[in-house]
Amino acid sequence: MRIREDIETVFKKDPAARSTLEVICCYPGLHAIWIHRVSHSLWNRHFYFLARLLSHISRMLTGIEIHPGAKLGRRVFIDHGSGVVIGETAEVGDDVLIYMGVVLGGTTLEKKKRHPTIENDVVIGSGATVLGPITVGRGAKIGAGSVVIRPVPPGATVVGVPARIAEPRPSPSAGQLDHDKLPDPGLIVIGQILDRLSRLEDQFKAHEKSISREEKTTQEAALKDEQIYSLLKEVIDPGVGMD
């Protein structure tokens, strides 16, 4: 039964959940998903006004706006949920975790696919915005406050404005977002530049030493030649010449 599955999902993804009664009565993210299923069913049956009206009522009650045309998978959990907006053509896969303030928005006024596709096991941090008909790959993580405008590969972690890939490979903590351990791609690039600069300085110093040794050797060779010439002058007939 989907309702029981939803309640179990809350216990798995929110350590603050203490009882089934608390989950049923005090989780607006859960209420929004349940109401969305009804409004989505009405939308698919072409009862567009009733679907939008029910969605609007859900927004007033929960603070979460999910367009009735959006598609949500199984075991989707909206934690806290205040300010979450999910657009009409958005598609959300199974086992997706969405924190408060997340926006799955569109970037065009044309009546076509204009909202993101979120694949299974994705985690979207608080205040993140995903714009346009892009795909966020399976198991990806979006850091809090990030603005995603390009597709995200499966398993990658993206952070920043605009969001950039910070970790191209899946992290060991799949299924959860460690907000205090997100990498900083800008700091990583600066570190790489400083490391490269340090190696170039070492190479430059080694080259300077090599040049100074060569100059010293040349000077010693020139001095040795002058000594040989002076000695030859003493034994060679001046009339013959040095050549």
Task: For 101-122, write each residue's pLDDT tens digit.
Answer: 999 999 888 888 999 999 999 9
Q: Which of 168, 183, 198 is the last residue of a domain?
A: 183
Q: What is the largest CA-CA distance in the chain?
A: 122
pLDDT of 236 strictly over 90? no
- Among candidates 9, 181, 170, 169, which has minimal Cα distance to 95? 9
Which pLDDT value is given to residue 2? 82
Average pLDDT on 85-102 reads: 93
- Judged on CB neighbours under 10 Å (0-12, 13-18, 19+), 217 is exposed
Same domain, 188 and 177: no
Same domain, 92 and 21: yes
Same domain, 193 and 169: no
Token reading at 23: 């989950």
Same domain, 197 and 140: no
Which pLDDT value is given to residue 234? 64
The residues, ordered by sequence, that sit 6+ positions from 153 with a Cβ below 8 Å of its Cβ are 137, 140, 165, 168
Average pLDDT on 172-181 reads: 56
Going across the sheet that includes 65-66, the strands are 65-66, 85-86, 103-105, 129-131, 147-148
Instruction: Identify the domain containing residue 209 by its residue range.
Output: 184-242
Average pLDDT on 33-52 reads: 94
**Which residue would you say has higher pLDDT here, 193 or 92?**
92
